[in-house]
Chain A
């Protein structure tokens, strides 16, 4: 395709691109003027331009497809603030895949914090119960206490309140572990409030035997785990909720 002006035709792709952009008025004024000068002298390019224009005309003539139905959202659609956390793809419709994956790590971290926090809180609770309420036979009590405490503590820290209030009266009964209970009482009180009276009827029979607790350090560890777990759980929930409110 060698025309009179060899330079113009050397790169057919580039030329077609210039003609196509010129057709849409997207060439810079200087480039457009230069192209027009060339077009005045080159029939081949004029034909090429005409062909591009014809294709564009066909596309412009396509009728708008009939709408199959209305796409209006149901009036019960949750508002953006109240909507539950979505999978990363839906929550970031405007971001490219790469940034979507990068942003996906933060809600993932928040979720991981919630899991770790929840598990730590469970474990802490188990330790406390095992060493104080259920006496010195640690192995036996751990295996029996695990399902009960785990089931109660898993959903939210607030729902483990009844368990915590049950341990409160045990504090007074077991002087050996009283020192270690400074912390759990502190964490139990916001969740458990003042229910020492009625809860005292729930006092497990083995409470008095617990004073010979093998390792006083275990309740402290348990308390620490419980406290740390609750903090992580709370932080994770707040982070997850703030992430979704600031949906970008």
Chain B
């Protein structure tokens, strides 16, 4: 990973929704860390399931991929993988540059 921005072009019709969607993803990061601290993997799995099903619809295919990996890592209670995936999501969200056109 590097510092360069990740530019995602989205459907302009969804521009008004994307901000809220991404903010929810940031909240997901917090929820994941909290669940991980409790060694509670079901909430993490549900988060992964949710973002897997919605990311691509909003225009963020990477988020769908992350969601799939997160759901599987949580299913097998793989803490280290969850940390890695969360890191990738965090990095992605940190470098994301959304362009609606």
A, B assembled together: no
